[in-house]
Structures are given as C-alpha cells and as structure tokens.
C-alpha cells in the first residue's frame, strides 16, 4: 500500500517546524532529514541498489500523542527544542513560543494533544534472509 509518508501526513512535524521557524515545511524528500525516505520509489531504488529484493512498503497512519494537556506538551517540546530556541533573538523566540503554544492548544482533545502521523513499514529480503 503506497501512501505518502510525508509532511502532509506527519502533521506534528510540519506544525512544529512552522511554529518554530515561521515558515511551512518545504523540505524536499531527497534532502537529508526525516523526510528523506518518504518517497516509495526512492526507498525501493535505495534498497534494491543495496542488494535487497522484494521491497514492500506499507503505509501506517496513527495519531501522535504529545502529553495529556497543551501546557504539558509545551513544557516537553520547549525542552526538546531548547538549543534552537536559545539561538533565537528574544523577539523571534517569543513569536516562536507563542506559535508553538497556539498549535498545541489547537490540537488539544479529550485524549490529549494529538497530531496526524505516518510512517512506512518496510520489508525486504537479501541473500535468503528476510528483514
């Protein structure tokens, strides 16, 4: 089942990137980073070139949970991004933190702070072994 596993399905990644940088996620899939293996054709080519066969990708979509409440998620994420936040000017940091808090509040549900998320389950075989 080939479905894009990219920033459009990884809402949490694009929302945090947009909040902290002020621009939407626009990283091309071929660039190094978390989106580098979002294109099934690119993954198949990479694994086939490495000697794997029977490459199969199954799209998985599950909610990504970030704490029970927006304030708790904010506390957690500001700790995760502390290095980048420390490098910002006071004004830029204030804007980024307000944007981060806003997206967390917007995604607060009775189940906690939840964003859409996607990944690939990849299987392949090599030399008689299945991985």
User: Which pLDDT tens digit goes with each residue over 34-71?
Assistant: 677 788 998 999 999 999 999 999 999 999 999 999 99
- pLDDT of 10 reads 83
When pLDDT is cut at 50, 70 and 90, the band that residue 22 belongs to is confident
Q: What is the pLDDT of residues 77-120, one digit of tens each?
A: 999 999 999 999 999 999 999 999 999 999 999 999 999 998 88
CA distance 90 to 99: 14
Lowest mean pLDDT among 19-23, 25-29, 114-118: 25-29
Q: What residue ranges do the domains of the chain occupy?
A: 1-63+116-131, 64-113
Q: Which helix (H) or strand (E) holds 115?
A: strand 112-115
Nearest to 120 by CA among 49, 52, 35: 35
In 3-state terms, what secondary structure has residue 19? helix
Please enumerate in sequence order all residues whose Cβ is within 8 A of that of 71, keeping only pairs 6 or more positions apart, or say none: none
Find the radius of gyration of the CA atoms of the chain: 18
Residue 46: other Cβ atoms inside 10 A = 14
pLDDT above 60 (res 20)? yes
Question: Is residue 1 a contact partner of residue 59, using CB atoms and an 8 Å limit?
Answer: yes
């Amino acid at each position: 089942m080939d479905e894009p596993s990219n920033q459009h399905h990884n809402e949490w990644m694009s929302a945090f990137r947009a909040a902290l940088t002020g621009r939407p996620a626009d990283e091309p899939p071929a660039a190094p980073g978390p989106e580098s293996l979002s294109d099934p054709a690119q993954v198949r080519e990479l694994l086939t070139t490495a000697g794997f066969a029977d490459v199969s990708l199954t799209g998985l979509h599950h909610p990504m949970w970030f704490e029970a409440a927006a304030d708790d998620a904010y506390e957690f994420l500001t700790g995760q991004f502390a290095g980048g936040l420390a490098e910002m000017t006071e004004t830029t940091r204030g804007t980024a933190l307000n944007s981060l808090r806003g997206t967390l509040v917007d995604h607060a549900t009775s189940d906690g702070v939840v964003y859409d998320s996607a990944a690939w389950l990849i299987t392949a075989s090599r030399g008689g072994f299945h991985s």
